[in-house]
Chain A
Amino acid sequence: MRRMKKSAPKRRSNGKSNKKRPASGKSGFRSALWRICWRLGLVGIVLLAGWTVYLDAVVTSRFEGRRWEVPSRVYARPLELYDGAAVTAAGLSNELSQLGYGKVRSATDRGSYSRAGRRFEIHTRGFRFPDGQEPDRRIRFEIAGDRVTGFRVTSGPQASVVRLDPEQIGGIYPAHKEDRVLIQLDDMPEHFEAALLATEDRDFYDHWGVAPLSIMRALWVNLQAGRVVQGGSTLTQQLVKNLYLTRDQTLLRKGNEALMSLLLELHYDKPEILETYLNEVYLGQAGTRSIHGFGLASQFYFGEPFNDLDLHEVALLVAIIKGPSYYDPRRHPERVLKRRNLIINMLADNGQVSLKEANKARQKPLDVVSKPSYSNARYPAYLDLVRRHLAREYRDEDLQSEGLRIFTTLDPGIQYTTETAVERTLTQLERGSKADFKLEAATVVTSRDSGEVLALVGGRDPKFAGFNRAVDARRPIGSLIKPFIYLTALSHPDRYTLITPIKDEPFSLVFDDGRRWEPQNYDRESHGLVPLHQALAKSYNLATVRVGLDVGVDAVIDNLQKLGVGEPVQSYPSMLLGSVNLSPVDVASIYQGLATSGFNTPLRTIREVTDADGESLTRYGLAVDQVVDPAAVHLVQYAMQEVMREGTGRSAYRYLPEELGLAGKTGTTNDGRDSWFAGFSGDLVTVAWVGRDDNGPTALTGATGALPVWSNVMSQIPQYGFSPIVPADVQYHWVNSEEQALTNENCSEARFVPFITGSEPTDTVNCSGDFTQRLRGWFEGIF
């Protein structure tokens, strides 16, 4: 009630004033309006001032605090050229093409090469390696018999060994997938600044961030040209848009853009703004990865460093700014060619390049490399292994943003060879078969003495970034275990030599719980007494299990672990037939020890990691560790060579030249579910696996599935054959294995076999099989 009484007079008074208003006239209304406007204006100014202060804080804090998230770059091994280097002419041409070297008549420019038959001339680019700068040089040489000959440096510092710049094989990107290579103003190639400013912001050095005149001029030029040639936004506005704002075309955003541009110009000088622009501008897309900045764009489109670009390339990059998708030189080459030439003309009209230069540049093709110079999709399996190795010491966020440089051991030529060999062999294996399943494969190639992983194929589709069989497919290794059993045995020269007769006859084991185990040979036949080397060469199961049980399953496991098997292995007798699950990479790791006289040489995919400035962060150097007796390993190497000459691996020589010394071992698991081959030459250790993803049966053995893959790979790589050095405590003797006796070299059964000194036979038998030594001993006894 009270409230009602109180409010009533107020209403009345209002009524009175309302009645008076018409009488006060226009001047009263104007003054009221003025007052409202004034107040609104005041409020607006206060708000604008507040907003400006806010924007100023945004601009300065984000510009100054801006830390580019630069992805890490992953490089392949650099190709080293010197007299005697093992290189094929095709492989070298391919590598140069991947590196973006242009094939020319005379290699006068950096990043170019000429080839006349077997003769090459290369002008290398120079590169900052972790161990120092490799300067650019001109080199000449020939390739004869897959080797470099007549190598000489014709320009630049003299050297016997020259490294090409390494191919970038991938990157480790932040979540937003922005990729960039940071550049500085000094890196700008000739004509670049002129072309950029003439096209994008003629008054860059004169305006305050916004240039109304430029907008008018752009409008006029565009009207004259009949299409959009120039934009009206200044570089500062474009930078502000990229750094702080969305792409919405609203008035409010435009207002913010102008205001922030003014503020940016107020706080920072032109060079700072220009350098930031050069690194920020969006210039293309590679799948989910966005290409930012001119440093990366020049790699992406030309495969060349930014500062090496010529006028026609400079003009092309500037042409792309306007619409990286619309002017994508790979998808719309004619469209972008027109715009590129328009920019060249503009430079000529302005007198910034001579007419002659302009004409020459206009005549040039786009010169864009057909594929992006690198893509993460090219070697997904290898990069997967690299990332796993990196994860031991680096955090994801550092890898994604610190611009680290990761120098790997990948050999792109061997990788390509391996990929194609896998796919081709699997297709051939499946040809004519009515199989309703698809074969899969994995292959690892490593450098024998350094343990560097040179190539890794995780499946028959090498571009598929999914299941990495080379690392994750842990399968029973079957007979690949056998060399380790014989290694364990031969480490006891008092009990075993290569000619020790082994019983290859059926037997059964009865366990405590009553279960029986009756191993069988693959052909379900027994072979009576066989010399040890033959039992391995022919992969006899019965003989091997007998030896394994005699030396002890645990002793075999101990050797496996010394040579690199990291996980526990179940101590069952069945492990003697390979019921040990390992991945192809694990197998390569333990075979490394067999290939290198008992040295455990950890497999490496990374040589070194540096920060963005090239300072070394981590070196993954060569490491060796002698873990088993080199003399026993030498004996196993002998038998593994016999595998290739007379045993289960002999079909390899259908593909490979006879003179190439090789050693290896086949592996097959039940019903052909896994077909393995692991072997080595003088330079390489290679492991191949073939099988099905569903672990189903196949009709393959190690010799008919994995060995063809292995042989195909090895046959295309120039290399040294395997010829191990005889350890000091090993001696070779001519022996008759069957008779367990020394014999004459000329006897038909004679075999030149290594023995650990003191373990050689003492008896001597002649060619007809008579025991001369025994007779002699008998005679000596008499006299």
Chain B
Amino acid sequence: MMIKRYLPVLVLGVSLLAGCATGPGGPVYVPSGQAPADAPPPPETDTNREPERASEQSAPEQEATRPKPHHQAESESLSPAAASLVNKADALLANGDTRAAISQLERAQRISPRAGKVYFKLAEAYYADNRLGAAEQFTLKGLSLAGSSTDLQRTGWSLLADIRRAGGNVAGAQKAEARAQAL
């Protein structure tokens, strides 16, 4: 009985752990490590020698202190510089100049390549240009970067529903709509 009582708590604990799966942190900006001259030499190998059948790995090193693999749940936001280009693209798009808008959005993408929003904007521009295949793919890319942001996910799924409907894929649109509504 007691165990049954604690079961939901255990399950909740496990799901909370999963929910907090942010690993050792988001992407870290790392300045260039060293001047070329400071680079350590590679391990010495006698390139004339017959290759040893020892191990493909170099000798084990201390790994206890090594950070574990990274991952993150939070999506990244647009940098102010990228946001200014997105604004420019919005204005161009409002004037019907989709080609110029896409150019500006690609500049923004180079500045904030991991921000889901920039891909949704690209999807909108391709949608406006009636290139629905590309629009759908950029939406999927944006969704892959939406992380735990409900807003971004809703934007993405709703956009996908519109794009699919415009392309005549009613079933796909309904599926996407359902995902948006479930959030």
Where the two chains meet, the residues of A that have a C-beta atom closer than 8 Å to any C-beta of B are: 80, 82-86, 88, 130-132, 145-147, 159-161, 417, 420-421, 424-425, 428-437, 439, 447-450, 452, 479, 522-524, 538-539, 596-599, 607, 616, 619, 621-626, 630, 634, 637-638, 641-642, 645-648, 650-651, 653-661, 663, 666, 668, 671-672, 682-683, 697-705, 707-708, 712, 715-728, 731-734, 742, 745, 751-752, 754, 776, 779-780, 783
Q: Which residues of B lie under 8 Å from residue A619 when comparing CB positions?
A: 99, 102-103
Q: Determine if A703 and B33 form an interchain contact, defined as CB atoms under 8 angstroms apart.
A: no
Bound-complex Cα distance A616 to B100 (A):
11
> A523-B53, A622-B122, A725-B71 given as contacts; is B111 within 8 A of A82 (CB)?
yes
A720–B45 contact, CB under 8 A? no
Name 21 interchain pairs, CB-CB below 8 A, sorted by A: A82-B79, A83-B80, A86-B29, A447-B110, A619-B99, A621-B106, A622-B122, A623-B137, A637-B69, A641-B70, A642-B69, A653-B66, A658-B66, A704-B42, A712-B36, A716-B34, A720-B29, A725-B146, A726-B147, A752-B68, A754-B21
| Contact mask for chain B residues 40-56; partner A; CB cutoff 8 A; 1 contact, 0 none | 11111111111111111
- Given A428-B41, A435-B46, A619-B99, CB of A734 within 8 Å of CB of B55: no
B122: chain A residues at CB < 8 Å are 622
Q: Rank and list the top 8 A-B pairs by shortest CB-CB distance, nearest first.
A: A708-B42, A641-B69, A82-B81, A732-B21, A146-B31, A449-B113, A723-B70, A160-B84
Q: B9 on the interface (CB 8 Å rule)?
A: no
Complex CA gap A88/B75 in Å reads 27
A424 to B35, CA, bound (A): 13
| Contact flag A436-B48 (CB < 8 Å), given A522-B56, A725-B71 | yes
Which of B44, B54, B137 is the one whose CB lies under 8 Å from A624?
A: B137
The answer to whether B27 touches A661, judged by C-beta atoms less than 8 angstroms apart, is yes
Interface 9-residue window, one of B57-65, B161-169, B170-178: B57-65
With contacts A624-B138, A697-B51, A733-B14 taken as known, whether A160 is within 8 angstroms of B113 at the C-beta atoms is no
Please name all residues of chain B whose beta carbon is closer than 8 Å to the beta carbon of A707 when the two chains form the complex: 42
In the complex, what residues of B have CB within 8 A of residue A622's CB? 106, 109, 122
Complex Cα–Cα for A86 and B31 (A): 8
A753 to B, closest residue via Cβ: B69
Contact partners of A429 in chain B: CB under 8 A:
42, 45, 47
In the complex, which residue of chain B has the Cβ closest to the Cβ of A751?
B68
Contact of B66 with A715 in the complex, beta carbons under 8 Å: no
Q: Please, which residues of chain A bring their CB within 8 A of the CB of B7?
A: 776
A45 to chain B, nearest CB (A): 64
Report Cα–Cα, A723/B27, bound state, in Å.
5
Given contacts A539-B56, A655-B34, contact A725 B84 (CB under 8 A): no
Report the nearest A residue to B18, measured CB to CB.
A731
**Bound CA–CA A84/B110 (angstroms):** 13
Q: Is the CB of A723 within 8 A of B111?
A: no
Q: Which residue of chain A has its CB nearest to the CB of B29? A: A720
Are B23 and A732 neighbours in the complex by a CB distance under 8 Å?
yes
Residue B73 at the A interface, CB < 8 A?
yes
Assess whether A646 is in contact with B66, with CB atoms less than 8 Å apart: yes
| Per-residue contact bits, chain B 144-161, to A (CB 8 Å; 1 contact, 0 not) | 111100000100000000
B contacts with A: majority SS: loop
Q: Within 8 Å CB of A145, what residues of B?
A: 31
| B26 interface residue (CB < 8 Å to A) | yes
In chain B, residues 110-159, which have Cβ atoms closer than 8 Å to a Cβ of chain A?
Answer: 110-111, 113-114, 119, 122, 134, 137-138, 140-141, 144-147, 153
A contact residues around B100 at 8 Å (CB): 131-132
Residue from B30, B52, B99, B140 within 8 A of A659 (CB atoms): B30
B23 in contact with A655 (CB, 8 Å): no
Give the residue of A417, A650, A745 whose beta carbon is less than 8 angstroms from that of B63. A650
Are B81's CB and A434's CB within 8 A? Answer: no
**Cα–Cα distance between A433 and B42 once the two chains are bound (Å):** 13
Closest A residue to B10 using CB positions: A764
- Do A655 and B40 form a contact, CB below 8 Å, given A130-B103, A159-B84, A701-B56? yes
- Tell me whether B8 is interfacial, beta carbon within 8 Å: no
With A624-B138, A647-B57, A727-B144 known to touch, is A659 a contact of B67 (CB < 8 Å)?
A: yes
Q: Is the CB of A721 within 8 A of B70?
A: yes
A698 contacts which chain B residues (CB < 8 A)? Answer: 45, 47, 51
A645: B residues at CB distance < 8 A: 63, 66-69
- B44 CB → nearest A CB, Å: 6
A131 to B104, CA, bound (A): 8
**Across the interface, do B61 and A650 meet the contact criterion of CB distance under 8 Å?**
yes
With beta carbons under 8 angstroms apart, the residue of A439, A663, A708, A776 that contacts B47 is: A439
Residue B72 at the chain A interface, CB threshold 8 Å: yes
- Taking a contact as CB atoms closer than 8 A, the residue among B34, B109, B137 that contacts A450 in the complex is B109
CB within 8 Å for A732 and B46 given contacts A80-B110, A645-B66, A655-B34: no
* Cβ contact within 8 Å between A716 and B28: no
Given contacts A450-B109, A648-B56, A723-B70, A434 and B48 within 8 Å (CB-CB): yes
Q: How far is the CB of A636 from chain B (nearest CB, A)?
A: 11
Please give the distance in Å from B145's CB to the nearest CB on chain A: 6
Contact indicator B52/A699 (Cβ below 8 Å): yes
Chain A's closest residue to B33 (CB) is A715
The distance in angstroms between the C-alpha atoms of A660 and B70, with both chains bound, is 10
**In the complex, are the beta carbons of A702 and B28 less than 8 A apart?**
no
Centre residue among B1, B32, B75, B114 by max chain A CB count within 10 A: B32
Chain B residues near A648 (CB-CB < 8 A)? 56-57
Cα A132 to Cα B107 in complex, Å, equals 13
- Residues of B close to A449: CB separation below 8 A: 109, 113-114
Evaluate whether A626 and B137 lie within 8 angstroms (CB atoms) in the complex, with A522-B56, A619-B99, A641-B70 already known: yes
Q: How far is the CA of A751 from the CA of B122 in the complex (A)?
A: 38
Are the CB atoms of A732 and B71 closer together than 8 Å? yes
CA distance A637 to B53 in the complex (A): 28
CA distance A776 to B46 in the complex (A): 58
Within the complex, which residue of B25, B53, B56, B114 is in contact with A702, where a contact is CB–CB below 8 Å? B56
A648 to B114, CA, bound (A): 28
Given A449-B109, A538-B57, A659-B28, is A434 in contact with B46 using a C-beta cutoff of 8 Å?
Answer: yes
- B30 to A660, Cβ gap below 8 A? yes
A699 touching B57, Cβ below 8 Å: no
B183 to chain A, nearest CB (A): 10
Q: Are B45 and A651 in contact (CB under 8 A)?
A: no
Residues of B within 8 A of A523 (CB): 53-56
Give Cα distance in the complex from A429 to B65, angstroms. 29
Q: Is the CB of A421 within 8 A of B144?
A: no
CB 8 Å contact bits of B1-28 with A (1 = contact, 0 = none): 1011001000000110110010101111
B20 CB, nearest partner CB in chain A, Å: 9
For A86, the closest partner residue in chain B by CB is B29
Contact between B39 and A83, CB atoms less than 8 A apart = no
Complex: how many Å from CA A666 to CA B102?
37
Judge whether B109 and A704 touch: CB under 8 Å. Answer: no
Please indicate the chain A residues that have their CB under 8 angstroms from the CB of B43 in the complex.
651, 704, 708
Does A161 contact B107, Cβ atoms closer than 8 Å? yes
Q: Measured between C-beta atoms, what is the minimum distance from A757 to chain B in Å?
A: 9
B3: chain A residues at CB < 8 Å are: 776, 779-780
Which residues of chain A come closer than 8 Å to B44, judged between CB atoms?
A: 431-432
Give Cα distance in the complex from A339 to B71, angstroms: 66
Interface residue? B85 (CB, 8 A): yes
Complex Cα distance A661/B138, Å?
Answer: 25
Q: Which of B21, B58, B80, B102 contacts A704 (CB 8 A)?
A: B58
Q: What CA separation (Å) do A700 and B52 show in the bound complex?
A: 9
Q: Is the CB of B45 within 8 A of A704?
A: yes
Given contacts A598-B144, A725-B75, 18 further A-B contacts (CB under 8 A): A431-B41, A432-B46, A433-B45, A435-B48, A439-B47, A599-B141, A619-B99, A619-B102, A626-B140, A650-B57, A697-B51, A699-B49, A703-B57, A718-B29, A718-B31, A721-B29, A725-B147, A733-B17
